[in-house]
A = this chain, B = another copy of it.
Amino acid sequence: MMIRAPGANPTGRADRPKQVYEQLRDLIVHGRLAPGSRLVETDIAKRFVVSRTPVRGALQRLQQEGYILDSPSMRQSRPTVAPLTLEDARELFSIVGELEGLAGRAAAALPQAKRSSLAKELIAINQDFRKAAAVPRPNHNRLFDLDERFHRRYVEVAAGPRLLALHQAVKPQAERYERLYVSFLSNEIQISAREHEAIINAIEVGKPTAAHGAVQTNWHNAAERLGRVIKRAGERGRW
């Protein structure tokens, strides 16, 4: 009897919209697709060697998540890469702070055993984070990655399916700003690490409200710090 793996497509022909989506998203996040760029279905299709059908799906998703937008002014209703502005960053960070705050609150309301194992994990990540920031020329990718892992961890553990999905859709958009941020502010990372400790502590001792507040504070301050960078560097369409 021949077994045809039921749903497991090792890498063969997984759903292409998702692949296109992920690659486009990475291009946007890493700035290789500059803000304001127009996205043309046929070009993308050619580039990824697929037809327009899966591209359309990917674009729709990107648009719904806010990476691209149908230009606001009356003219040119073609999809363009969303711009990077201070105002947008503020709003985005406050939303992420609120969503993760919700997860932080839930994490602090978990049974004691789970809380303490989670806290242990978070401490380990945060220490790596601290160490990575302490070396002479910090690796920005690594710093970003550790910060991201820190936040993701407690969300994964504590959030329900809806919050998780929302977080996964919204949070990566902050990456566009965070990458900018981390490359300019690696000296302020220590402050961020201290804020992380406040989060860990609130979770560990089981204070939901404090955890919520600590998460929000972290994101609020991040927005402030980022604001200084943007002011200094100017809001640029491309970097």
Q: Could you tell me if B169 and A91 are in contact, using CB atoms closer than 8 angstroms?
A: no
Asked whether A133 is an interface residue with its Cβ less than 8 Å from the other chain, the reply is no
Query: What's the nearest-Cβ distance from chain B to residue A228, in Å?
Result: 20
Query: What's the nearest-Cβ distance from chain B to residue A167, in Å?
Result: 10
Which residues of chain B come closer than 8 Å to A161, judged between CB atoms? Answer: 91
Which residues of chain B come closer than 8 Å to A57, judged between CB atoms? Answer: 56, 60
* A62-98 with Cβ < 8 A to chain B: 64, 66, 74-75, 77, 87-88, 91-92, 94-95, 98
Query: What's the nearest-Cβ distance from chain B to residue A154, in Å?
Result: 16
User: Which B-chain residue is minimally distant from A15 (CB atoms)?
Assistant: B77
Asked whether A7 is an interface residue with its Cβ less than 8 Å from the other chain, the reply is yes
Whether A77 touches B7, Cβ cut-off 8 Å, given contacts A87-B160, A102-B94, is yes
Whether A7 touches B74, Cβ cut-off 8 Å, given contacts A166-B170, A169-B64, is yes
Q: Could you tell me if A101 and B98 are in contact, using CB atoms closer than 8 angstroms?
A: yes
User: Which B-chain residue is minimally distant from A74 (CB atoms)?
Assistant: B7
Interface size of A in residues (CB-CB distance below 8 Å)? 29
Asked whether A162 is an interface residue with its Cβ less than 8 Å from the other chain, the reply is yes
Q: Could you tell me if B64 and A64 are in contact, using CB atoms closer than 8 angstroms?
A: yes
Asked whether A12 is an interface residue with its Cβ less than 8 Å from the other chain, the reply is no
Give the number of times this chain occurs in the complex, counting copies: 2
Asked whether A176 is an interface residue with its Cβ less than 8 Å from the other chain, the reply is no
User: Which B-chain residue is minimally distant from A162 (CB atoms)?
Assistant: B91
Q: Could you tell me if B6 and A75 are in contact, using CB atoms closer than 8 angstroms?
A: yes
Asked whether A152 is an interface residue with its Cβ less than 8 Å from the other chain, the reply is no
Which residues of chain B come closer than 8 Å to A66, judged between CB atoms? Answer: 162, 165
Asked whether A55 is an interface residue with its Cβ less than 8 Å from the other chain, the reply is no
Asked whether A163 is an interface residue with its Cβ less than 8 Å from the other chain, the reply is yes
Chain A interface residues (CB < 8 Å from chain B)? 6-7, 56-57, 60-61, 64, 66, 74-75, 77, 87-88, 91-92, 94-95, 98-99, 101-102, 160-163, 165-166, 169-170
21 pairs, A vs B, C-beta closer than 8 Å: A6-B75, A7-B74, A7-B75, A7-B77, A56-B57, A57-B60, A60-B60, A60-B61, A64-B64, A64-B169, A88-B162, A91-B161, A94-B102, A95-B99, A95-B102, A95-B162, A95-B163, A95-B166, A98-B99, A166-B166, A166-B170
